[in-house]
């Protein structure tokens, strides 16, 4: 579906943004009839309030207080999307915020519907892009976020490794990118042993998908975990834990959303996207606890839990990506429950040794309302991922610092100067403004905003 702004016209109805701390500053400018209508309906500018005025007089939308907006981002744009069917145009700046970009993007993201399997009622309201915003950029961001959501929301029967590859090829055709894939037993022949090991028990062949775009500028490599369904393998997940595992390719979905933003905006860089796409399944040839495998870069890995498979497929992809020595490599994965315990479902934790990158990302996160939080590559925990019988342990015992030890494991394969790893959740557990229950992008808007500065250094 197209998430776009309406064309400006003389018929566009005005939206009056009203804060809750001094609503009279706006309400006093209404006609007597409109003022009485607002009073009758109890409109006082609370965050997310929306009231259509009589006789096509436009609408009032509450912007609340700064404190309320921190707790519920995008609420103003979401409220606009719920107005009665008409084309609207914001008539006044929001008192004390939010800024026009957040309102406009919140509106676009609120218009998203996942309608592949069931028709969904579209938003009836249309919005003219507010003055001063880059409408084209916001539409690009919304369309890219929509791609991420669609990919995560699609069940594994229709989004296996083969379908994920086709999604990459479709995206590549849109922007003139190149795509190749190494599939099935060819993974062994071309030295991707861990990707093959994890995916070999599934009916749909594992593969490494590679997309490249751009001929000049810094080299940027994005690596996304593409575990299209995760049963846990022989360390089988309980049913309650398996129910959401269609989202275990959320890292790949986020990377593809970010890649779309980069390509659509024409960012100057040499972009490379690597997605190890597998299903972690159970059959007679499934990999086993206690097995030891040699990764692409020569490190040996002891398998102490087959449900810690994401770091295995990423290991080969990161080692492969490192061989070209990109200027920056970013990995995104729905990797650990420990990350959710640490920061909850709404924040994307990331790991990096690159302080300027971390600072730029933190600033961008605040500006675009896309929360991220830096966690440490804590060196003393390196011993926890070294089992003794092999170079590395894919699932250290004890349950402590699970997100950190996973990040340290991945860093062993990222032989580049600048590296960042994101441990995302990729799922919105309940409806929220501009974020319906289901798949969601995390960290990619902040990255898109920060990358021009980061890549210039």
CA–CA gap between residue 54 and residue 62 (Å, rounded): 17
Burial of 350 from C-beta contacts in 10 A (0-12 / 13-18 / 19+): buried
Neighbours of 137 (CB within 10 A): 16
DSSP at 181: E
Bridge partner residues of 18 (DSSP): 62
The separation between CA 454 and the C-alpha centre of its own chain, rounded to angstroms, equals 19
Neighbours of 377 (CB within 10 A): 16
CB-based contact 312:197 (threshold 8 Å): yes
DSSP at 348: E
Catalytic residue among 126, 207, 225, 311: 311
CA–CA gap between residue 343 and residue 442 (Å, rounded): 13
Is 237 an active-site residue?
Answer: yes
CA–CA gap between residue 68 and residue 59 (Å, rounded): 21
CA–CA gap between residue 108 and residue 139 (Å, rounded): 7
The separation between CA 396 and the C-alpha centre of its own chain, rounded to angstroms, equals 27
DSSP 12-58: PEEEEEEESSSTHHHHTTS-HHHHHHHHHTT----TT-EEEPTTT--
Using alpha carbons, select from 350, 361, 354 the residue that is nearest to residue 453: 361
Bridge partner residues of 229 (DSSP): 279
CA–CA gap between residue 368 and residue 449 (Å, rounded): 8
Q: Is the peptide bond before 309 cis (omega within 30 degrees of 0)?
A: no
Neighbours of 440 (CB within 10 A): 28
Catalytic residue among 237, 270, 374, 429: 237
Helix (H) or strand (E) holding 172: helix 161-175
| Active site amino acids | 237, 311
């Amino acid at each position: 579906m197209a998430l776009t702004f309406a064309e400006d016209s003389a018929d566009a109805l005005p939206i009056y943004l009203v804060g809750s701390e001094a609503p009279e500053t706006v309400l006093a400018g209404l006609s007597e009839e409109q003022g009485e209508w607002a009073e009758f309906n109890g409109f006082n500018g609370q965050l997310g309030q929306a009231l259509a005025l009589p006789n096509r007089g436009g609408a009032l939308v509450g912007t609340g207080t700064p404190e309320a907006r921190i707790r519920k981002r995008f609420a103003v744009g979401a409220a606009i999307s719920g107005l009665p069917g008409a084309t609207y145009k914001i008539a006044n700046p929001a008192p004390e915020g939010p800024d026009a970009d957040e309102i406009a993007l919140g509106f676009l993201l609120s218009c998203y519907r996942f309608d592949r399997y069931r028709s969904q009622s579209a938003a009836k309201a249309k919005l003219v892009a507010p003055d001063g915003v880059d409408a084209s950029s916001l539409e690009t961001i919304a369309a890219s976020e929509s791609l991420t959501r669609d990919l995560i929301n699609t069940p594994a029967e229709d989004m296996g490794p083969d379908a994920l590859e086709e999604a990459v090829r479709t995206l590549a055709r849109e922007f003139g990118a190149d795509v190749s894939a190494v599939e099935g037993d060819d993974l062994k022949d071309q030295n991707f042993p861990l990707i093959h090991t994890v995916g070999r028990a599934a009916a749909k062949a594992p593969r490494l998908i590679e997309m490249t775009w751009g001929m000049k500028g810094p080299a940027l490599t994005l690596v996304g975990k593409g575990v299209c369904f995760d049963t846990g393998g022989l360390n089988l997940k309980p049913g309650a834990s398996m129910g959401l595992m269609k989202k275990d390719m959320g890292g790949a979905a986020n990377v593809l959303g970010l890649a779309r933003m980069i390509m659509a905006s024409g960012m100057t860089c040499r972009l490379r996207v690597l997605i190890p796409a597998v299903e972690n399944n159970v059959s007679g040839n499934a990999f086993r606890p206690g097995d030891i495998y040699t990764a692409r870069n020569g490190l040996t890995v002891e398998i102490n839990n087959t449900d810690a498979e994401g770091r295995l497929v990423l290991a080969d992809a990161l080692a492969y990506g490192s061989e070209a020595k990109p200027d920056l490599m970013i990995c995104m994965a729905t990797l650990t429950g420990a990350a959710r315990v640490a920061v909850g479902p709404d924040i994307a934790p990331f790991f990096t040794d690159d302080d300027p990158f971390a600072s730029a990302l933190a600033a961008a996160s605040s500006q675009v309302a896309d929360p991220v939080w830096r966690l440490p590559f804590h060196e003393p925990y390196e011993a926890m991922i070294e089992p003794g019988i092999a170079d590395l342990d894919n699932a250290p015992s004890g349950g402590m610092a699970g997100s950190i030890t996973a990040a340290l494991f991945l860093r062993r394969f990222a032989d580049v100067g600048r590296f960042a790893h994101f441990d995302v959740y990729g799922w919105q557990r309940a409806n929220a403004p501009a974020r319906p229950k289901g798949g969601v992008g995390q960290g990619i808007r902040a990255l898109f905003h920060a990358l021009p500065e980061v890549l210039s250094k």
